Chain A
Amino acid sequence: MDFLRPTSWREALEIRAARPEATVLAGGTDVLVEVNFGHRRPEALLDLTNVTEHQGWSEADGTVRIGAGLPYARLIDELGDRLPGLAMAARTVGSPQIRNRGTLGGNLGSASPAGDGHPALLASDALVEVASVRGTRLLPITEFFTGVKRSALAADELIAAVHLAPASGPQQFAKVGTRNAMVIAVCTFAIALHPEQRRVGTGVGSAAPTPFRATAAEDFLTAELIGTGQWERPRALPELAANRFGELVAAAARPIDDVRGTADYRRHALGVLARRTVHRVWDDHRTRRRQCA
């Protein structure tokens, strides 16, 4: 096995092109488990530890660019105010030790349907910046996931960063698992209000071969809020609308039965999470509006 350690992003891309069979290594919280258990015997490890260019974040022109190698712990501390939904999701990942090492780039690289970072990225229309010696592409997050643990990343590409707008309205993330810490999600739901676009964004995890947006539910709620003049004069969200929203989220799921839960349970739980979080974001929005007025 070779241990390849580029010291710059450019060098990392060159090695990636020359050695497409190498396993990329960031925080190692997915890769090392597989190597320790012999599930993976890579011919080479391409370690990004010494490539600092992709380990920070920056903000420009109304977009936050999160380097793929930024550990969750720093994302929570440094971006929690700008990206509350993503930070909520990051807080549920593993334990402090895991959040100190694990990265959003690694979450995307694994492309697990249960990756906790993905729903929040979907709800906020994130773009994934992928790069190779051939150049850079910005992929909408909806086009990134192509199947269970499969992504649109080409063999010579690295994930460089994720781009998304700082929150312009309330955001929520909710996860069902057997306990609070250290669980792979049974199902997850993320929601973001985009008041300036008068739109609602969603993301669902662990309920289909890939993380996905519940577009029918988004469209229903967006139309409902506009149709009833809620953005001009926000009132409590009618129970009927919240219920319908929950039903549409549940109906969009294509879950499976597995050791963590049955498909029926997942669908039911998703409806509950959707209803609960839509109330939370809407109540939050109304309170903030009143405080501003």
Chain B
Amino acid sequence: MRVNFTVNGRAQQADNVWEGESLLYVLRERLGLPGSKNACEQGECGSCTVTLDGVAVCACLVAAGQVEGREVGTVEGLADGDRLSDVQQAFLDAGAVQCGFCTPGLLVQATDLLDKQAEPSDVEIREALAGNLCRCTGYEKIMDAVRLAARRKSGHA
């Protein structure tokens, strides 16, 4: 089947999509957008997190046909050209990236959190990121990065 949808504000069309295929597969293998990572394909790791009509979801659990006519936002859409978003810059500055495999999902999820809640508490950050696994950092630097991004966004740093 053919699927028409918008990715990061651009109209996209994917052809020869198998009906049981996930949005993650379409993004990575058909549209050449490999930012969203594929690790578990069962919603456990969050490395495939994207937004669907503005709501954060695991792309591996959305069927391709379910995005027909809808808007998807991926990690590729966070930066403005060469200018990184506040959250991306904060991840770099805080040293929250090691192997980087979990990073795209965390960036999308953290961005979604800060869009909804400008000054989240630590508990709220942990809760928001509970579905994103990182095997490298031990999470402390990720917490630092989100706190830093929040401070910068709200003008306190």
Contacts and interface: CB of A to CB of B under 8 A. Distances in A.
A binds B: yes
Contacts of B88: none
B63 A97 contact: no
Interface in A55-111: 73, 94-98, 100-101
Contact of A95 (B41, B63, B131): B131
Nearest to A40: B20
Contacts, number: 89
Given A1-B20, A97-B46, A100-B57, A28 B131 contact: no
Interface stretch (A31-39, A212-220, A250-258): A31-39
Interface residues of A, number: 31
A47 B20 contact: no
A2 B57 CA distance: 24
Contacts of A226: none
A31 B18 CA distance: 15
B43 A5 contact: no
B102 interface: no
A32 B131 contact: no
Interface SS of A by simple majority: mixed
Contacts of B42: 33, 36-37
Given A2-B19, A49-B66, A97-B46, A182 B61 contact: no
B61 A32 contact: yes
A73 B1 CA distance: 31
A17 B46 CA distance: 36
Tell which of B22, B56, B68, B130 has the most Cβ of chain A within 10 Å.
B130
Interface string B98-117: 00000000000100000000
Contact of A28 (B46, B49, B63, B68): B63
Contacts of A49: 66
B131 A25 contact: no
Given A36-B22, A36-B41, A97 B109 contact: yes
B49 to A, nearest CB: 6
B87 interface: no
B63 A101 contact: no
Interface residues of B, number: 28
Nearest to B25: A36
A180 B130 contact: yes
Contacts of A33: 41-43, 61
Contacts of A42: 20
Nearest to A95: B131
Given A36-B42, A95-B46, A182-B131, A5 B65 contact: yes
Interface string A1-19: 1110100000000000000
15 contacts: A3-B1, A27-B61, A29-B58, A33-B42, A35-B20, A35-B63, A41-B20, A42-B20, A45-B19, A45-B20, A47-B66, A96-B128, A96-B131, A100-B57, A180-B130
Closest 4 CB pairs of A and B: A95-B131, A181-B130, A1-B19, A3-B65
Interface of A: 1-3, 5, 25, 27-29, 31-33, 35-37, 41-42, 44-45, 47, 49, 73, 94-98, 100-101, 180-182
Interface of B: 1, 18-20, 22, 41-44, 46, 49, 55-58, 60-63, 65-66, 68, 109, 127-128, 130-132
